[in-house]
Amino acid sequence: MRRVSFLATILFASSCFSVAAQQPENHVDQGKVTAGGKPVTLLGTGVKVGDKAPNFKVVNADFTPVSLSQYEGKAVLISVVPSLDTGICSLQTKYFNEKVATDFPNVVMLTISTDLPFAQKRFCKQEGVDKVQTLSDSVWRDFGQQYGLIIKDMGLLSRAVFVLDKSHKIQYKQLVSNLATEPDYQTAIESLKAL
């Protein structure tokens, strides 16, 4: 039974990578992100401050589809991480869960990664993440494509933070230039205060 589950996971992952490989390059953020000192290519459309945030479809821990339009009329912070099971991504998610969510109860806090939903669920239970909603872009790669965050040849999302006002206009965008570093939390918090 374990072997069948492992095989299904590999087949699922390989189909996701082939979908990501078909995406156009993100020219909005070209040359802005590095990993291990080398530039990475981001795939997808890309967005800018002032744009209306594109709607997207991801899944929650139960594989139920979730879209941005479900939070109509609410300000939203989107924290994007490559994988919750890495040190920096874990720190980023826990920071927004512990330090920010309680100070901004009227702001919807989302963390999006390409981790499979059951891995996200395990992480949240293990780390006590209960205020930020973790969502997976592993099924359709729709969020990564719409926001231009799919890392070519890796299939992961680039680290970023977005703040959307109640009409879902992008008020703040932070594309973290080095994947191995945490975002500038203070500037993100200041943008939330300005809403």
Q: Alpha carbon of 166 to those of 53, 71, 75, 103, 138: distances in Å?
A: 11, 9, 4, 17, 27
The catalytically annotated residue of 68, 89, 112, 149 is 89
Residue 74: beta bridge partners? none
115 SS3 class: coil
**Nearby residues of 13 by Cβ (< 8 Å), 6 or more positions away:** 155
| Catalytic-residue membership of 16 | no
Catalytic annotation, residues: 89
